[in-house]
Structure 1
């Protein structure tokens, strides 16, 4: 179990995707479930997420789940002998994790579960064998360099853009996704 937490826009999902892309082929099956917080809020959202997880892992696009408890049980039954890489992205409630993971000893030895969240408290339910990392905002120098690379394709802007670059960096407050945005 690995938890990654930090402010929205700090790059948790990008880090989780990079890790996923680098190691997914070391597992029997893998799944990246994005936007758990947002998708859970719609009607039957957890059921749809459970269906997505089960369909991807079992490679059955027609698999249907009738209820959350049934989905949780199917996950337990089907994944207990599978080395699985599972990413739960943007989780905001502990019970969302429980709907996918139930008892954490369900998964086969060698499985890896990575959870991204804005709220460190969500990760406290993962048990004592978890690793938790905080992703922090960029410092001024890092923010300046990232913005300059994306806005000007160089390490620093020309003199004519220096003041506006400083204002944007201050406004973005060290959040990488804001600094890379095409909206500036």
Structure 2
């Protein structure tokens, strides 16, 4: 949650095991679709039925953390479903598996993001990172944000890589506020805070 990108950034939730992008990569691997998994699953899903297979939605129960994510159980469920089909000598419906898996991921991501905005009184949502390039995530986020009166901001798909757009937005804001550049000898550390000291 951020009310000011340079001074008020508070984590509300996190991925407790496997990130969404990792789940896309794993399922694409199990389906023999290649790497990276996100774009190829997105492509196959467009020709599949997202309601064909009822895959689980992790951490969506009433007692689960409201804003945390878990995709480990989903990955396992999809992989076992595929393995069972293959063991039975049946053809795996790749497009339906892709669409149903993708729907499970984007349903959870958008539901929790919109809930966080509503709970905190936030009227703008920005999504970024590699998974934000997913066409179904973008469409469902737009649909749910419109229904909730939230303005959605999403970078162009080519900017949705490894959170690059979010880091660039932070950098641009810091430059506009005349924040001094970091020393050249500053080590890379993914746990450094993004807010002003």
TM-score, structure 2 normalization: 0.31
Q: TM-score, normalised by structure 1?
A: 0.32
